[in-house]
Amino acid sequence: MLLNRLPGLIRDWKLDLVVVNGENAAGGFGITEAIYHDFIDAGADAITLGNHSWDQKEALVFIERAPRLIRPLNYPAGTPGRGAAMIEAKNGARALVVNLMGRIFMDPLDDPFAAIDRELIACPLERGADAVVVDMHCEATSEKQAMGCFLDGRASLVVGTHTHVPTADHRVLPGGTAFVTDVGMTGDYDSIIGMAKDEPLGRFLRKIPSSKFEPANGPATLAGIAVETDDGSGLAVRTGAVRLGGRLEEARPAFWA
């Protein structure tokens, strides 16, 4: 779905920057180098990760030669790769893309709030970057919303990922930061968070695994969020949900429809 639809969206909506969360791209578990290059070739400018960053062990190696692949910033020192990258957008602007991972019901990594604070002190919006996009990858909606409040006025967009379910609260916060609690997944929604239903349902009913999780292969929905920023401040002017194809009701940002 992403490879089929993204080039046309970039052309039709004149997208300057495309950020994709790719941590489930390899059949639901991590990302491979081939998939990374497929996404870049389709027009993605940066690819963020999350708690499945290292499910494909090759990622521990190829991330060092993949400058647009971004793992959580708050991994311990010495973790391969980078947690933030300055990306040249398609219009020549400088966009700082940062990946964070929450700690509630997740692996106990370093403090994501302290980590992003240090990053934005070193590279503030407007003076250090024309746009700042933060992918807050975590389980708890409260932690995602707390990060949105913490960064309001300091980032162009704070977008929650991980739970695979799109929330309906996309908006521009009072300080000018676009925010959504969770952007949702690109995949088949006739599933249990993207997986064919029988195996996860059986585990809930019997508490015994019978086979591996397999991705659901029905019609996919492309889920995302669109943001228009002010050229001077880098803050958000307006934002809208994107849901195209598949089983969910379609949504397009009115300012790009």
Q: What is the pLDDT of residues 59-88, one digit of tens each?
A: 999 999 999 999 999 999 999 999 999 999
Q: What is the pLDDT of residues 118-162, one digit of tens each?
A: 999 999 999 999 999 999 999 999 999 999 999 999 999 999 999
CATH of the domain at 64: 3.60.21.10
Q: Output DSSP code: residue 75.
A: S
Q: Is residue 22 part of a domain?
A: yes
At 97 the pLDDT is: 98
Give 3-10 contacts, CB < 8 A, sequence gap 24+: 3/38, 3/39, 3/42, 5/222, 5/244, 5/245, 6/42, 6/43, 6/44, 7/42, 7/43, 10/43, 10/90
Q: Is residue 58 part of a domain?
A: yes
Task: Round to whole Å and give the CA distance between 168 and 181.
Answer: 8
DSSP string across 126-159: TTTBSEEEEEEE-S-HHHHHHHHHHHTTT-SEEE
Judged against a pLDDT cut of 90, whether residue 257 lies above it is answered with: no
Q: Is residue 76 part of a domain?
A: yes
Judged against a pLDDT cut of 70, whether residue 179 lies above it is answered with: yes
Q: Is residue 209 part of a domain?
A: no
Span 241-254, average pLDDT:
95
Q: Is residue 233 part of a domain?
A: yes
> Does an H or E element contain 52, and which?
none
- For the chain, give the percent of residues with pLDDT over 90: 97
Point out the residues that are catalytic. 52
Domain count of the fold of the chain:
1
What range does the domain containing 163 cover? 2-186+221-244
Span 91-120, average pLDDT:
97
Q: What is the pLDDT of residues 189-230, one digit of tens each?
A: 999 999 999 999 999 999 999 999 999 999 999 999 999 999
Q: Are strands 69-70 and 46-48 parallel, antiparallel or unpaired?
A: parallel
